[in-house]
Structure 1
């Protein structure tokens, strides 16, 4: 089994465990986060929408939602990012101070097409504080491995168009980069906001 298939299997197991633990349920704040101790996340060195180098340490002290996808995705990524952007707005209305501690991060697995300008247009259409990151294939693959992500480039149709098969998990990490919970991105913005409010630190 190759590394990407292994990562996909590992994250599927984590997702199942998260669902069994009722990801959004933490009424008194005493429960341990569903992903506590999971070996996902860590260092990365990528490029932001301004062409500047960005490292994971640049987000120290911030909760962060990390999602891997690509801007040319025809359906899943824009729908997920729309929900995440809406969830951030729900949280901003409910608890502005908490919302300010959360940074949504979209990491592209398609650097050939997702230039800084493309990423800026993509992320800005969903939330003004959403950060788009890309970089070299080697840098992205290093992040993919650390974050337990699966992706596979599809066949080019001859005109530069292709699809990318990829996992679509939105994972909330704490202020020290520790994994907390897989957000219910398949649910409503309100449910996503509930989960962020329950587990953000």
Structure 2
């Protein structure tokens, strides 16, 4: 059942990525990156949420860092832990350059994902990961801002429910501009390659 619920969101992400890639090719633009480029197709990093320290957090707080934004939740049985483990390996492969990056894990399940829960969860994967939660309306607005999607099952009364969600990783440069979209179809090598380009000294804005 879980796989069937997740397929529409994954398919949507892949179709969106393919459309952007085709648009870039038709314009004859150079493609120095291997992942799907979204420069000019998505808005800058901007949000008002609460971080896993229980403090207000905004997109401006992460200026100067390359940001990898991912929507998920701590009770996720498979995709979220696999993605965070994948990103931890990516950070390890980047070496010292990884200090210039941050993984922002935005909860689509704020009812269960308190700052304390988020802190314990993300830190179990990588020290450069930050958990973000907040009001349901603020999270929904952020999801729509980046054309992500999620859907919660009704709570049966015991708090044991699942949430279907998109699985794309949104990558922003140090100036907060949306640059790349990574989907599960992309290889780890491609993600490492493109992050090197964004993190290298003198990287173009």
Q: TM-score, normalised by structure 1?
A: 0.81
Q: CA RMSD in A?
A: 2.8
Residue 56 of structure 1 pairs with residue 55 of structure 2: no
Is 1:82 the counterpart of 2:81 in the alignment? no
Alpha-carbon distance in structure 1 between the residues aligned to 2:32 and 2:69: 21
SS in 2 for 1:90: helix
Gaps of 5+ in 2: 1-8, 26-30
What is the TM-score of this pair, normalised by structure 2? Answer: 0.80
What is the match of residue 155 of structure 1?
154
Distance in 1 separating the partners of 2:11 and 2:90: 28
Q: Distance in 2 between matches of 1:58 and 1:137?
A: 21
Deviates more, 1:183-192 or 1:165-174: 183-192
* Partners of 2:52 and 2:131 within 8 A in 1: yes
Provide Cα deviations, 1:45-83, integer angstroms capped at 9, x if missing partner: 000111000000001121100001111100011101110
Query: In the TM superposition, what is the alpha-carbon distance from 1:39 to its structure 2 partner?
Result: 2.5
Stretches (4+) displaced over 6 A: 7-10
Contact 1:18-1:182 within 8 A present in 2 as well: no
Distance 1:89 1:82 in 2: 11
What are the ranges of 5 or more consecutive residues in structure 1 without an aligned counterpart?
1-6
Distance 1:111 1:15 in 2: 28
Counterparts of 1:145 and 1:8, CA distance in 2? 16
Deviates more, 1:82-91 or 1:178-187: 178-187
User: Residue 87 of structure 1 aligns to a residue in which SS?
Assistant: helix
Describe the superposition over 1:23-60 as per-residue Cα deviations: whole angstroms up to 9, x where unpaired: xx727xxx9x7111012444210001110000000011
- Asked if structure 2 preserves the Cα contact closer than 8 Å seen for 1:172 and 1:182, the reply is yes
**Aligned residue pairs: how many?**
186
Partner of residue 5, structure 2 = none
Q: Equivalent residues in 2 for 1:171-190 (5 A)?
A: 171-190=170-189
1:85 is displaced (CA, Å) by: 1.0
